[in-house]
Amino acid sequence: MSTRSERAFWLAAPGRGEIREESLLPASRDEVRVRTRYSGISRGSESLVFKGQVPPSQYALMRAPHQSGEFPGPVKYGYMNVGVVEQGPGDLLGRSVFCLYPHQTAYVVPASAVVPLPDGVPESRAVLAANVETAVNTLWDAGPRVGDRIAVIGAGVTGTAVALLASQLPGTRVELIDIDPRRAALAARLGLHFRLPGEASAEADLVFHASASEAGLELALRLAGLEAEIIEMSWFGDRRIALPLGEAFHSRRLSIRASQVGQVAPARRARWPHKRRLALALDLLRDDRFDALIDGECRFDELPQTLAQLADRPDGALCRRVRYD
15 pLDDT tier (thresholds 50, 70, 90): very high
Same domain assignment for residues 113 and 154: no
Is 70 exceeded by the pLDDT of residue 62? Answer: yes
Mean pLDDT over 276-304 rounds to: 97
Q: 48-62, 71-85, 170-184, 285-299: which has the minimum mean pLDDT?
A: 48-62
Q: Which of 203, 223, 258 is the last residue of a domain?
A: 258
Same domain assignment for residues 122 and 135: no
User: How far does the chain reach from its first CA to its final CA, in angstroms?
Assistant: 27
Cα atoms in the 13 Å half-sphere on the side-chain side of 35: 10
Whether the link from the prior residue into 74 is cis, omega within 30° of 0, is: yes
In a domain, 266, yes or no: no
Same domain assignment for residues 316 and 224: no
Cα atoms in the 13 Å half-sphere on the side-chain side of 269: 9
Give the pLDDT confidence score for residue 44 in this predicted structure: 79
Same domain assignment for residues 198 and 245: yes
Same domain assignment for residues 253 and 139: yes
In a domain, 267, yes or no: no
**pLDDT tens-place string over residues 213-236:** 999 999 999 999 999 999 999 877
Is 70 exceeded by the pLDDT of residue 85? Answer: yes
DSSP state for residue 21 in the 8-state scheme: E
Helices 129-142 and 157-166 meet at what angle, rounded to 10? 50
Same domain assignment for residues 87 and 145: no
Mean pLDDT over 251-273 rounds to: 92
Mean pLDDT over 137-147 rounds to: 97
In a domain, 178, yes or no: yes
Same domain assignment for residues 151 and 241: yes
> Which residues are within 8 A (CB) of 259 and not within 5 positions of it... i.e. 6 or more apart?
137, 138, 141, 142, 231, 232, 233, 265
In a domain, 109, yes or no: yes
Give the pLDDT confidence score for residue 238 in this predicted structure: 72
Is 90 exceeded by the pLDDT of residue 249? Answer: no
In a domain, 314, yes or no: yes
CATH number, domain containing residue 138 = 3.40.50.720
Percent of the chain with pLDDT over 90: 84
Is 90 exceeded by the pLDDT of residue 292? Answer: yes
CA 173-179-184 angle, 5° bins:
55
Give the pLDDT confidence score for residue 48 in this predicted structure: 87
Give the pLDDT confidence score for residue 247 in this predicted structure: 77
Question: How, if at all, do strands 173-177 and 193-195 pair?
Answer: parallel
Give me the residues paired with residue 232 across strands: 209, 258
Percent of the chain with pLDDT over 70: 98
Give the pLDDT confidence score for residue 84 in this predicted structure: 98
Same domain assignment for residues 213 and 158: yes
Q: Cβ atoms within 10 A of the Cβ of 281, count?
A: 22
**pLDDT tens-place string over residues 198-212:** 999 999 999 999 998
In a domain, 98, yes or no: yes
**pLDDT tens-place string over residues 187-197:** 999 999 999 99
Round the average pLDDT of the chain to a whole number and report it: 94
Q: How many domains does the chain have?
A: 2
Q: Which of 258, 276, 294 is the last residue of a domain?
A: 258
Q: Which residue did the predictor score with more confidence, 237 or 306? A: 306
Which of these, 82, 6, 13, lies nearest to 304 by C-alpha position?
A: 13
CATH number, domain containing residue 42 = 3.90.180.10
Tell if the pTM clears 0.75, that is, is over it: yes
Q: 14-18, 124-128, 235-239, 292-296: which has the minimum mean pLDDT?
A: 235-239
Same domain assignment for residues 240 and 145: yes
In a domain, 276, yes or no: no
Give the pLDDT confidence score for residue 200 in this predicted structure: 98
Mean pLDDT over 259-267 rounds to: 90
Give the pLDDT confidence score for residue 243 in this predicted structure: 82
Mean pLDDT over 259-288 rounds to: 95
Mean pLDDT over 70-89 rounds to: 96
248 pLDDT tier (thresholds 50, 70, 90): confident
| Element at 142 (helix H, strand E) | helix 129-142
Is 90 exceeded by the pLDDT of residue 244? Answer: no
Same domain assignment for residues 143 and 51: no
DSSP state for residue 294 in the 8-state scheme: E
Name the residue range of residue 243's domain: 131-258
In a domain, 217, yes or no: yes
Same domain assignment for residues 15 and 62: yes
Q: Is 106 helix (H, G, I), strand (E, B) or coil?
A: strand
Question: How, if at all, do strands 31-41 and 319-323 pair?
Answer: antiparallel
For residue 252, the Cα-to-chain-centroid distance in whole angstroms is 32
Same domain assignment for residues 61 and 117: yes
Using CA atoms, how far residue 51 sits from 3, 100, 237, 275, 312, in Å, is 33, 21, 10, 30, 9
